Amino acid sequence: MNHETIQKYGDELYAAWLERRTVAPLLEREPNITLDDAYKIQLRFVARRVQAGETIVGKKIGVTSKPVQDFLGVFQPDFGQLTSGMVYTEGDTIDLGALIQPKAEAELAFVLKSDLKGPGITAMDVIRATDYVVPCFEIVDSRITDWKIKIQDTVADNASCGVYVLGNAKGDPRQLDITLAGMVLEKNGELHSTGVGAAVQGSPANAVAWLANTLGALGIPFKAGEVILSGSQSALVPVADGDELVCTVGGLGSCRVKFTGRSAV
């Protein structure tokens, strides 16, 4: 895919995000689009947000569970870039009016205290470089019509990033079994689903190590202070006006989030 086409699709996704509307799947229009092309489109999309005043605050890892990988026909995760406009803190109410077709996922987030530069990064390096972990919600959203995504579509669309909320319960990964920590998700006071850290690539730290190595190969920095959303440990939860979600990570604590307003779709 040539530079102009990559710019065009990156700009198209940026405009769709800005105007809260969807576009047809890229793969339907460009059947030969590669994963490399898709990441280049993502870089353009994110660059437009940065040009408009946002900063890069971290990364998200997606497609980390076997069921999702099977669904998309891939054998590895993907990643997207978190920007300052996506950040909510616990206690905030998320305005669905700013989103298109959002769904929530419960995850463990990592905050780094030193840079992680792949290749050659292992899960042990990840724990060593981690300042703390927190329970979090990622509200994924898609600029692709009806979420009809293949892996190239979601990668180009910045891994379907929407917004995210970090919980206040900080934990040291040296004091917590992040692999076997349970994840309990409640919606409006009722149990919705449960999961466990191991659902993410065998351990969330494995997913972060994969990301460090993948970013290293692409020459993208992975810096101290960045937030990494390590991948969903729950089912996808549709959210609507008035909904309240709570996720609890065993041995760590909870993250609580409320929603208001109506999304575009």
- When asked if residue 249 is in the footprint of other proteins (CB under 8 A), the reply is yes
Nearer to other proteins, 119 or 251 (CB): 251
Q: Among residues 47, 74, 198, 220, which is the contact residue for other proteins, using CB under 8 A?
A: 198
Based on the shown chain and the rule CB under 8 A, indicate whether residue 244 belongs to the binding site for other proteins. no
Position 69 contacts other proteins (CB under 8 A): no
Q: Which of residues 8-67 bind other proteins (CB under 8 A)?
A: 66
By beta-carbon proximity to other proteins, the closer residue of 42 and 201 is 201
C-beta separation of 7 from 37 below 8 A = no
Q: Taking Cα atoms as reference points, which of 139, 133, 168 lies closest to residue 254?
A: 168
Give 135-180 as a DSSP string. Answer: EEEEEE--SBGGG---HHHHHHTGGG--EEEE-S--B-TTSS-TTT
Closest to other proteins by CB, 115 vs 172, is: 172
CB of 213 to other proteins, least distance (A): 22
Rounded CA-CA distance 236/243 in Å is 14
Minimal distance, residue 44 CB to other proteins, in Å: 37
Residues 141-180, mask of contacts with other proteins (x by CB under 8 A)? ------------------------------------x-xx
Is 199 a binding residue for other proteins by CB under 8 A? The answer is yes
For the CB of residue 106, give the shortest distance to other proteins in the complex, in Å.
11
Pair of tokens at residue 220: 């993208």
Calculate the CA 155 to chain-centre distance. Answer: 11
Pick from 133, 90, 127, 128: which is nearest to 110 by CA?
133
β-strand pairing of 93-95 with 253-260: parallel
**In the complex, minimum distance from the CB of residue 183 to other proteins, in angstroms, rounded to a whole number:** 6
**Pick from 35, 43, 72, 196: which binds other proteins (CB under 8 A)?**
196
CA distance 247 to 249: 7
What's the token pair of residue 97? 């009016």
Residues that bind other proteins (CB under 8 A): 66, 177, 179-184, 191, 194-199, 202, 248-251
